[in-house]
Every structure is written in structure tokens, then in C-alpha cells.
Structure 1
Amino acid sequence: MELLHRTLLATIGALSVFYALVKISLGYWKRRGILHEKPKFLWGNLKGVVQGKRHAQDALHEIYSNYKGRAPFVGFFACLKPFVVALDLELVHNILFTDAGHFTSRGLYSNSDGEPLSGNLLQLDGHKWRTLHAKSAEVFTPANIQKLLPRLVQISAGIQKDLSSAKLQQTQNITDLVAGYNVNVLASMAFGLGDRDLEEFSQWTHNYWGKFSLWCAYLALEFPLIARLLQYRSYAEAATNYFERIALMQLKEQRSRDRQPLQTFLQLYSNASQPLSDVQIAAQAFGFLVAGLTPLNATLGFCLYELARQPELQDRVRAEIKKTLEQHDSQLTAECLRDLKYAKQVLNETLRLHTPHPFLLRRATKDFELPKSVFVIARGNNVLIPTAAIHRDPDIYPEPERFDPDRFEEEAMNLRPKAAFLPFGDGLRGCIAKRFVEQVLLVGVVALLQHHRYTPCAETTMPIEYNNRRLLLTPKTDIKLKVERVD
């Protein structure tokens, strides 16, 4: 009886301490006197998000809509972790450009000693990131991206081959179609693999997260030192072993061949004046996969979905592709891509309406006092820039739910603030591979639309629904459309 009594008292004591710690954590913004949405116990301002009932984009959009204009930023809680949500575009511009030196960190978990492939540009911070970024800058130059274009065009021919082999007016799984193209691009250009090695590579691209736990990932972000001591892994060990092995193998093979044509980022990194170690290069190849595959798949899928719903826009893109190719002797060169202005507008509008990364993450590395105000973002504060909410702000984009590529005509773009369109982030910690990603998307659009028309069918989900269990914006179910060949 006495043992039971002691156990009960210990349990009550532990729960009381836990409750007190939670209340202290959720009182952070109140103690600082910062405007914020009242948090729910344990969930903070993410009630419904963790359970998959709504997307993180929806939670941020609600905060943005409710508080925009009342303060330059508000407090927000992701479970127990406090974040700054930037609402004012001038503040966003300061964070990304003017005062980017105060926000050079993302605050993501990385353990490059225990998990070498986590040592990529996306995940690293501090001195390691600055050193790696400086060395990577010479790899991602416009000239180098242009040199990789012939290989990219060669890969894109596989889309037309796959479509041509299908029956006329057959329903196609667009999600699988664009994934096949993008997996091929990353396998070939990031890892140096040939067509014969794609099947195993494709399988691992679906499994590298392993038994992902949101709570474990959250605790690793909150307590990175403890996570490193416990050797917490962000990815499945078997998957990272596979990706590291093939990258190292390809580096070894390419050095044994003389005068090979430039076709991969492995070659660019290996030939750089400030070369990385082979394991570091493998980590950058893996970074392409982590940061790029899902957004590339989603963007091309959503693009075809929107064009299928508005055939007049689709015909306009196809006509531009045909005319531009004729002007360039049917060669998809860098000059040809530059002339595909309306196709770029369509892709930009897709990225606006279906923003793959619904928010950007930054962490203040030193106190930042907002100009002409009493507000301060304290050193160590995590900052969320709600890109998807900004992209759907009716004051910036009238009728934001309408798909309208004319929003990205040059004149219309010049009338908007610079920070009003951020699909790739921007500034010091923006996507370093932005030019390459845009090139992959544009070449993909040409291959998909040049000889084929897409229309909704009985299996097309309309309106589109998002997968609430993914942080990135992806369709809940596969996008399926009817495809027919046009001459």
C-alpha cells in the first residue's frame, strides 16, 4: 500500500513538473509582450496539423490573414517551440536581403560526423555552411548550368517516348510520369548514373526517410546536442549507405575516364578549384534529392493539372513551344529556353498557387532590431516566412485562387514588392540550384506539351487536394489526366 502511495505521488509530481514546463514554454511570447495567437496545450498553434487534419500551410495562412497589418511579426508555436512569423514584406526583405547577415542559419538538424550525407547545403549552418557555400558557388554558375543542358534535353526525350508508346486518349498517371523524368534527371545529373541503374535508385528515393517520426525529428531540432550524442539519424541508414556508395563509385569511375563530356554535378564539384572531399560531394548529391525531387514532381504535376482545366492556356503554351523551336532549328538551346516567356509565366503561376515549400526557415544568429520600431527579433529566435500565404494574399495577387499566368508578365511583376514571390527562397540562403531547377522544369514542360494534349477525365480529382501529412505541398492522390497526341 505504501509503495502504491509513493508511486502515485511520484507520478503526480512528474506530471506537475511536466505541466509547469509546458506552460512556461507556451508563455514565451506573453513574457516578451509580443502579439501572438493563444496556443493550445502541447499543440501550440498546430492543432489539427500534427494529426493530419489540416496542412501546415493552412495554419500559417490563418495567422497571416488574422494578424497582417497589425504588427510586422507575431509569435507562433510549433508544438512547444516558439517561432517568429514574419508578416510584413519589408521585414521579409530585410531578413532575406538587407540584413541577411543576421539570419544565416536555418536551424535544421544535421550530424555530418555520424550521418555524413546530412552535411549538405540545405542542412548545415554556421562556419561549415559558409565554407561549403563558398566552394559550391563556382559550381552553380550560369555557364555550368548551360553546359549541362544537352544531357537534360536527352533525358527529357524519355517523356515523349513513354507517351508515344501509350494508347491514344488513354488515362495517364501524371504523377508517375513526371516522377520518372525527375528521378532520371537526379540519378543522371546529381549521381552520374546511367539508364540501366534507375530501377534501384528509384526504389530508394521512396524509402530514404525510413521509419520517420515527427516527434523524434522535433526533439532533434529542439535538442540537437542530445540528438547527436544519441546518434539520431534523419534518414534510413540503408538508404544513405546506398546513395553514398553509388556517388563514391561514380566519382571513382569518372576519374578513370579521359576527356569525358561534362554531364553531371559530380564532375563539376570534382573539377572545382576548391574541391570537396568525395564524401562531401556525395552529401551534395543527396541534398539534390532531399531538397529537389518532391518539389519538382509536385510542380510539373500541378502545372499539367491547371493547364488541363484551361485548354486555351495549354494551347497558348504549345503554340509558343512550336514557334520558338522553329526559330531555333528545332534545337532546345539556352537561347531557345530564354524565348519561352509564356511557358515560364505558367510555371511561375504554378509555383505561386501551389507553392512546394509553404514556408522558409531562418534563425537569428544575433539580435535584430527592426528599423524604425521597438520590435526586436532576439538571437536564437526561429523565423518562419509564410511564402504560401504571401503568394495567396489578395492584396498582392487579386483573386489568388485563380490560375492566371499573366500575373507574371514583366510589367505586372515590376509593380509588386520583390519579396512577394519566393518559391525558391532568396538572398544569402536561397536555393543555390535555382537556375538548374528552373531549367529542369522548363525542359520538362516542353517535352510534355510539345506533342501531347491533357484533359480532365473521370479519374481526375477536382478540386485538387493536398496531402496534409507532408510538410511540402503535394497532391493527396495521384494526378490522372487523359492524354492524346497532337501534331
Structure 2
Amino acid sequence: MELLHRAVLTALGAVSLVYALVKISLGYWKRRGILHEKPKFFWGNIKGVVTGKRHLQDALQAIYAEYKGRAPFVGFFACIKPFVLVLDLELVRHILVTHAGNFTTRGLYSTASVEPLSGNLLQLDGHKWRALHAQSAGVFSAANINKLLPRLLQISRGFQSSLGKQRLQTLNINELVDSYNLEVVASMAFGLTVDHTEFRRWTQTYWSNFSLWRAYLALEFPLLARVLRHQSYDKAATDYFQKVALRQLQEQRKRDRQPLQTFLQLYSRMEQPLDDVQIAAQAFGFVLAGLVPLNATLSFCLYELAQHPELQERVRAEIRGTLQQHDGQLTQEGLKELLYTKQVLNETLRLHTPYPLLLRRATKEFELPGSVFVIARGNNVIIPTAAIHRDPAIYDEPLRFDPDRFEAEARRKRPAMSFLPFGDGLRGCIAAQFVEQELLVGLVALLQHHRYAPCAKTEIPLKYDNGRLLLMPKTEIYLSVERMDN
């Protein structure tokens, strides 16, 4: 009986301690006198997100809409972890550009000693990221991206021919665009030239153990995660990606005079080259940061164009006209002339922003110019990009798909930092130019000879998958695909 009594008292003491720690943590913004939404016990401001009842974007959107204009930022809690939720575009500019030196880290979990491929540009912070970013800048120069265009066009021609000559078919659009983007990553990031069946399998399973809970705990308690040797990715998958990259690097060195076709070549030819495992980590970064959002973007784009046939015809007319002017070939100059096609892609990125938020962490205290507001050193910062992209004060009728928003004059009238699909500043997407090129080339291949329309299997309206951090369709997108001979 005495033992049971002690056990009960110990349990009550532990519960009381946890309760007190949670209450103290959830009182952070109140103690600082910062405007904030009253947090729910333990859940903070994301009740329903971790359990999949709503998307994180919905939680951010609600607070952004409620508090915008009342302060440059508000306090936000992801469970018990406090964040600065930015509401003011001028503050966004300070964080991303003007005073980017105060916010050079993201605070993502990375441990290269346990997971070598986590040593990529997306995950690294501090001096390791600074050194790697400086070394990588030349790899993603405009000149190098242009040199890789012939290989990208070769991939797109093969992809276009795979659509076949069937007059009318119903296709899974997610699988369709994945076949293109996966070929680009496998070929241009990893240097693979053979069948990609195994590569595809591992791209679909490397995050098979992902859960919002584990990701949150690694973000909140990184030291504990490192002690426990927490791994973010499936080990068999990362072992495969590393093995492939190392093998391709060795093969590449045996043919050192081969034409430039891959990012592996660019990384291995740097003045101060990385070691092979570091190069493999950068190749994995293409899978991690690029494959899913690029698939989602092209899928969403075709979904919107299928519902707006007049816009689809306008894009197709521009594509065909441009190709005709360049003897049927898609050139660097021709890509620059696809102005409306790029407007359509930008509108897709605005309405269906793959990354609904940007993360930063203050490495120095930052006092907002001309105000009493201070972002303390160590504060984690959220810039709600998707909420900004759907702000009715910036974009009239924000839920309406309207590529004309991105005409040159319309863009000039909008404030800076109102369109951030690739971030901006020091930690903006270093591969943004290549990503835009890949999307444009892919859209040309998809639309030149094929028309897309809703079918019986098309889910309207589209819903997002609440179990993912990125904005992705909850179910596969099916469309009717009609081949046109002229």
C-alpha cells in the first residue's frame, strides 16, 4: 500500500511539473507584452493541425487575417513553442533582405554525423551553411543554368512523346508530372541515364517514417534528438541516394571531358570542390526540396487550366507561336518570350503556394526601425507566405485564378515582398532560376499538343492534404487529356 501511495504521489508530482512547464512556456508572449492569440493548453495555436483535422496554413491564415494591421508581428505558439508570426511586409523585407544577417538560420534539424545527406543547403545553418552557400553560388549561376538547358529539353521531348498518340484518355496528373520531374532530378542531379524504377521507389519512401509529431519534437528539442540519434529519413533510402551519387561521381571522373549535363559535374568542378559525400547531400537536396513542390505546382497548374479553357488556349497559342518563331525549337530566347505562360505559373504559385511559410531564427536581437518592437535573439520567426499570397488587400478576390495579376504593370503596383514562392534574400531558393526553367519547359511539353479538361474523376473543389507540411492535393488529380494534331 505504501509503495502504491508513493507511486501515486510521484505521478501527481510529474504531472504537476509538466503542467507548470507548459503554462510557463505558453505565458512567453504575455510576459513580453506582445499581442498574441490566447493559446490552448498544450496545443498553443495549432489545435487540430497535428491530428490532421486542419492544415497548418489554415491556422496561420486565421491569425494573419485577424491581427494584420494591428502590429508588425504577433506571438504564435506551435504547441508550446513560441514563434514570431510576421504580419507586415516591411518587416518581411527587413528579415529577408535588409537585415538578413540577423536571420541567417532556419532552425531545422540536421545532424550530418548520423544522416550525412542532411548536410544540404536547405537544412544546414550557421557557419557550415555560409561556407556551403558561398561555394554553391557559382554552381547555380545564370550561365551554368543556360548550359544545362539542352539536357532539360532532351528530357522534355522524351516526356512529351511518352504521352502517346491516343486521342482521348483519362490520366492521373500527379503521376504524369512526377514522371517528368523525377526524370529531371534523376538525370540532372544524380547523373542517372538508365531505368529509374528503383530511384522512383526510394523517392516515394525516403520520408515514410515522417510524422508531424516527430518533426516538431526534433525542432523543439534538437539537442535531445541528437543524443537519441534521431533520423528524419528512412536510412535505407538515404543509403541508396548516397550510393548512387558516389557511384556516378566516380563514373563521371572516368569521362572527364563529357559535355556538361548534370549538377554533379558542376559541383565537382568548383575551384574549392566539396567532398563526395557533401556533393551527394546537395543532390539529395533536389529530392528533398524540389520534387514534391514541383509536382504539386504542375498538377495544380493543369487543374486550374482545365477549369479555365480560355486561359489554357491562350497559353497554348503563345507556346505554339513562340516555337514557330524559333524553327520549332525551344531556346533560351524563346523561354523569355513565354510571358503569359510564366504569368500562369506565377498565379499557380500564388494561389497554391507549395511552401506555405518561411522559417527563420534570429541570431541577433533586432529592433524594428522607428518602433518599440523587438525580436529577441533566439526567437523563431514564421513568414506566412501563403497567407500573404491570399491577402485580399494585396490581391483582389484572392481565391480567383487570374494570371493577369502578374502582368508587368500589375506587379509594379504591388508592394515588395508580396510574392515569395522562392523566398528572397540570403536564404532564398538558390536554384530558383533552374526551377522556373524546369516548370516552363515542362508546361510547354504538356500543353503543346494536349488539351486538359475535368472528367468524372476530377474532385472539385480541390482539397489539401492536412497531414503534410506542404500544400499538396489530398487526393490524386485526374483529368481528361485530349491529343491535338495541330
Range class of TM-score, shorter chain: over 0.9
Q: Residues 374-393 of structure 1 correspond to what in structure 2 (within 5 A)?
A: 374-393=372-391
- Unaligned runs of 5+ residues in structure 1 are none
Q: Residues 89-104 of structure 1 correspond to what in structure 2 (within 5 A)?
A: 89-104=89-104
| Aligned equivalent of 1:335 | 333
Instruction: Using the aligned pairs only, state the percent identity.
Output: 73
Local SS of the residue matching 1:138:
coil
Local SS of the residue matching 1:172:
strand
| Aligned equivalent of 1:237 | 235
Local SS of the residue matching 2:482:
strand
Q: Residues 356-435 of structure 1 correspond to what in structure 2 (within 5 A)?
A: 356-435=354-433
| Aligned equivalent of 1:191 | 190
Deviation at 1:275, TM superposition (A): 0.6
Q: Residues 110 and 124 of structure 1 are in contact (CA less than 8 Å); yes or no, is this contact kept in structure 2?
A: yes
Deviation at 1:215, TM superposition (A): 2.2
Q: Residues 111 and 118 of structure 1 are in contact (CA less than 8 Å); yes or no, is this contact kept in structure 2?
A: yes
Runs of 4+ in structure 1 over 3 Å off = none
| Aligned equivalent of 2:24 | 24
| Aligned equivalent of 2:475 | 477
Distance in 1 between residues matched to 2:265 and 2:256, nearest whole Å: 12
The one-letter amino acid of 2:366's match is: F
Q: Residues 208 and 233 of structure 2 are in contact (CA less than 8 Å); yes or no, is this contact kept in structure 1?
A: yes
Distance in 2 between residues matched to 1:172 and 1:195, nearest whole Å: 25
Deviation at 1:114, TM superposition (A): 1.6
Q: State whether structure 2 residue 245 is matched by structure 1 residue 257.
A: no
Q: Residues 49-448 of structure 1 correspond to what in structure 2 (within 5 A)?
A: 49-165=49-165, 167-196=166-195, 198-448=196-446
The one-letter amino acid of 1:465's match is: K
Q: Residues 50 and 213 of structure 2 are in contact (CA less than 8 Å); yes or no, is this contact kept in structure 1?
A: no
Residues 95-138 of structure 1 show CA distances to partners (whole Å, capped at 9, x for unaligned) of 01111010000000000122110000000000000000000001
Distance in 2 between residues matched to 1:211 and 1:139, nearest whole Å: 32
Q: Residues 140 and 433 of structure 1 are in contact (CA less than 8 Å); yes or no, is this contact kept in structure 2?
A: yes
Q: Residues 365 and 379 of structure 1 are in contact (CA less than 8 Å); yes or no, is this contact kept in structure 2?
A: yes
Distance in 1 between residues matched to 2:137 and 2:313, nearest whole Å: 38
Q: Residues 356 and 473 of structure 1 are in contact (CA less than 8 Å); yes or no, is this contact kept in structure 2?
A: yes
How many residues get paired? 485
Deviation at 1:212, TM superposition (A): 2.0
Distance in 1 between residues matched to 2:411 and 2:220, nearest whole Å: 39
Q: Residues 44 and 79 of structure 2 are in contact (CA less than 8 Å); yes or no, is this contact kept in structure 1?
A: yes
Distance in 2 between residues matched to 1:468 and 1:158, nearest whole Å: 34
Distance in 1 between residues matched to 2:177 and 2:391, nearest whole Å: 29
Residues 463-487 of structure 1 show CA distances to partners (whole Å, capped at 9, x for unaligned) of 1110010000000001100001112
Distance in 2 between residues matched to 1:221 and 1:168, nearest whole Å: 50
Distance in 1 between residues matched to 2:40 and 2:398, nearest whole Å: 30
- Unaligned runs of 5+ residues in structure 2 are none
Distance in 2 between residues matched to 1:73 and 1:424, nearest whole Å: 21
The one-letter amino acid of 1:119's match is: G
Q: Residues 349 and 408 of structure 1 are in contact (CA less than 8 Å); yes or no, is this contact kept in structure 2?
A: yes
- CA RMSD, Structure 1 to Structure 2 (Å): 0.8
Distance in 2 between residues matched to 1:179 and 1:25, nearest whole Å: 42
Q: Residues 184 and 195 of structure 1 are in contact (CA less than 8 Å); yes or no, is this contact kept in structure 2?
A: no
Deviation at 1:223, TM superposition (A): 1.9
Local SS of the residue matching 1:383:
strand
Q: Residues 446-465 of structure 1 correspond to what in structure 2 (within 5 A)?
A: 446-465=444-463
Distance in 2 between residues matched to 1:221 and 1:239, nearest whole Å: 22
Deviation at 1:228, TM superposition (A): 1.4
Residues 164-184 of structure 1 show CA distances to partners (whole Å, capped at 9, x for unaligned) of 25x322111111000111111
Distance in 1 between residues matched to 2:77 and 2:70, nearest whole Å: 18
Distance in 2 between residues matched to 1:421 and 1:287, nearest whole Å: 23
Distance in 2 between residues matched to 1:3 and 1:225, nearest whole Å: 35
Distance in 2 between residues matched to 1:195 and 1:41, nearest whole Å: 53
Residues 421-443 of structure 1 show CA distances to partners (whole Å, capped at 9, x for unaligned) of 00011100000000000000000
Local SS of the residue matching 2:353:
coil
Distance in 2 between residues matched to 1:226 and 1:48, nearest whole Å: 26
Local SS of the residue matching 1:431:
coil
Deviation at 1:213, TM superposition (A): 3.2
Distance in 1 between residues matched to 2:211 and 2:290, nearest whole Å: 21
Local SS of the residue matching 1:164:
coil
The one-letter amino acid of 1:114's match is: V
Deviation at 1:226, TM superposition (A): 2.1
Q: Residues 319 and 338 of structure 2 are in contact (CA less than 8 Å); yes or no, is this contact kept in structure 1?
A: yes
